[in-house]
Amino acid sequence: MATKAIKSYSLSEMKDKYIGQVGSTERDEYEYELRMDVLGRMIKTARQERNLTQEQLGQLVGVQKSQISKLESSTNSATIDTILKVFKALKADIHFNVTLENQYVKLA
């Protein structure tokens, strides 16, 4: 009996097929939501490592507990200013990497 070879796909190929090609509205929305989810998880992890409650972190940043909760659960788009304040309150470094027309720019 002949065996059939199983085709494997890369993650990029799967995203292209099921979410949309790079540059499409669907793919851009997916990538944005994924980045916001990762950012929220980083905030929550850093807060928990510092043994802070959401309310305590909110007080350090100057926002309500509910805004910290929304940041951590990615239900709210945050301004860069708020994100910077959160990481400063957590005594955590944050770095931004930007690619402009194939040129890599690093902001630290």
Reply yes or no on whether the pLDDT at 51 is more than 90.
yes
Question: Rounded to whole angstroms, how far apart are CA atoms 10 and 12?
Answer: 5
Question: Rounded to whole angstroms, how far apart are CA atoms 30 and 34?
Answer: 6
Q: What is the pLDDT of residue 98?
A: 67
Question: Rounded to whole angstroms, how far apart are CA atoms 86 and 4?
Answer: 53
Q: Where are the domains of the chain?
A: 11-107
Q: What is the three-class DSSP state of 96? A: strand
Reply yes or no on whether the pLDDT at 107 is more than 80.
no
Q: What is the pLDDT of residue 44?
A: 92
Question: Rounded to whole angstroms, how far apart are CA atoms 108 and 105?
Answer: 10
Which residues does residue 107 pair with via DSSP β-bridges, in sequence order? 96
pTM over 0.75: no
Q: What is the pLDDT of residue 82?
A: 84
Domain 11-107 grouped into CATH 1.10.260.40: yes
pLDDT-based confidence at residue 6 (cuts at 50, 70, 90) = confident
- The alpha helices in 1-108, defined as continuous H runs, are 11-18, 25-49, 54-61, 65-72, 80-89
Average pLDDT over residues 70-83: 81
In DSSP notation, 24-40 reads SHHHHHHHHHHHHHHHH
pLDDT in tens, 10-26: 888 898 889 999 889 99
